[in-house]
Amino acid sequence: MTIRFGIIGTNWITESFIEGASEIEDFQLTAIYSRTEEKAKAFAKKHNAEYTYTSLEEMAKSDKIDAVYIASPNAYHAQQSIIFLKNKKHVLTEKAIASNADEVKQMIAAAKENNVLLMEALKTTFLPNFKVVQENLHKVGKIRRAFVSYCQYSSRYDAYKEGTILNAFKPELSNGALMDIGVYCLYPMVLLFGKPEKVKANSFLLESGVDGEGSIILGYPDMDVILMYSKIANSYIPSEIQGEEGNLLINQMNTPTKVEFIPRKGEVENLTLPQKEASMFYEAQEFIELIKAGKVESSVNSYNVSLSVMEIMDEVRRQTGVVFPADTNK
């Protein structure tokens, strides 16, 4: 059963998705959307896609695709997803899945109403070395704290400092450190531990109105989770889950490639599994297998997890003063 994909977005993350998905026998790239015909045709030629579109509505109504992967700016995710969901197409939407929780609710409603699959393309949770963390969580005993850091100096920040504001730092596109980087810290923790009772946040806002970096404390009844993320500085600190009987050390939460268990007493245990270099393979595999099985929701990147994460991010932005135009378009 071949799943014919349309693609929205012609950027580096789309290239990464195609690289990973192309390793799946049932994946077929059929159509490319771009606002300009020239760019759509160039991208289609590069990846051997037969059809190109400059109209989302036309693409959504087409019988040439079964599913769509959406990698446009965050502000467009909800509107574009809903167009395809209403046309009975399965939708894989890049993280962050939307601008705010209200949009996520609208997307979920459209998916349910049309009995098609909607899934957030947050790759971490499908990687073998994240599953290793889940399967070995019990070894640390009573969990008292998790610390997650993902700080990556943006290649676009130099241009920002020189006065050119590119997409990564535009509030009208629902961008910024939390939406683009922080979500990689937050999503896996909500999957592991559920929605917290309390959220405390702090951010450094850039003049454009988005956050350049931030930190969050998630409060649970008997533990806390500390998140640090940035687009304006690097960090080389691994992430860690601390328990009374030991620790799980994860080299990088966005794409974990090394996981160790460090017992309070005893020798360090290397838990690392082999993992494909094209790391988006695993989310594409999950999405395709769900379609083939007739499922309309992932049990991993579920509606509940995506909505909970977005509700937390809404609260973080409320506390730190990050406002998107999409917030007033409810």
Residues 6 or more apart whose Cβ sits within 8 Å of residue 120: 93, 94, 95, 97, 187, 301, 306
Residue 330 has pLDDT above 60, yes or no: no
* Contact indicator for 159, 319 with CB cutoff of 8 Å: no
Beta strands at 118-121 and 143-151: parallel, antiparallel or unpaired = unpaired
Residue 253 has pLDDT above 80, yes or no: yes
Mean pLDDT of 250-273: 97
Q: In the prediction, which pLDDT does 116 show?
A: 98
Mean pLDDT of 84-113: 98
Mean pLDDT of 21-48: 96
Interatomic CA distance for residues 147 and 229, integer angstroms: 11
What's the whole-number average pLDDT of the chain?
97
Mean pLDDT of 184-206: 98
Q: In the prediction, which pLDDT does 142 show?
A: 98
pLDDT, one tens digit per residue, over 213-252 is: 999 999 999 999 999 999 999 999 999 999 999 999 999 9
Q: In the prediction, which pLDDT does 129 show?
A: 98
pLDDT, one tens digit per residue, over 94-105 is: 999 999 999 999
Mean pLDDT of 90-118: 98
Interatomic CA distance for residues 52 and 248, integer angstroms: 46
Q: In the prediction, which pLDDT does 55 show?
A: 97
Instruction: Supply 44's token pair.
Output: 């289609």
Interatomic CA distance for residues 27 and 3, integer angstroms: 5
Residue 196 has pLDDT above 80, yes or no: yes
Percentage of the chain surpassing pLDDT 70? 99
Determine phi and psi for 221, rounding to 5 degrees: -55, -40
Mean pLDDT of 118-134: 98
CA-based nearest residue to 156, from 73, 278, 216, 34: 73
Residue 329 has pLDDT above 80, yes or no: no
Q: What angle do CA 249, 287, 134 make, to 5 degrees?
A: 20
Q: In the prediction, which pLDDT does 294 show?
A: 98
Mean pLDDT of 34-44: 95
- The whole model's pTM is what? 0.97
- Can you give the C-alpha Rg of the chain in angstroms? 20
Q: In the prediction, which pLDDT does 256 show?
A: 98
CA-based nearest residue to 235, from 256, 252, 211: 252
Mean pLDDT of 30-37: 96
Residue 326 has pLDDT above 70, yes or no: yes
Q: In the prediction, which pLDDT does 192 show?
A: 98
Beta strands at 239-243 and 246-250: parallel, antiparallel or unpaired = antiparallel
Q: In the prediction, which pLDDT does 278 show?
A: 97
Q: In the prediction, which pLDDT does 164 show?
A: 94
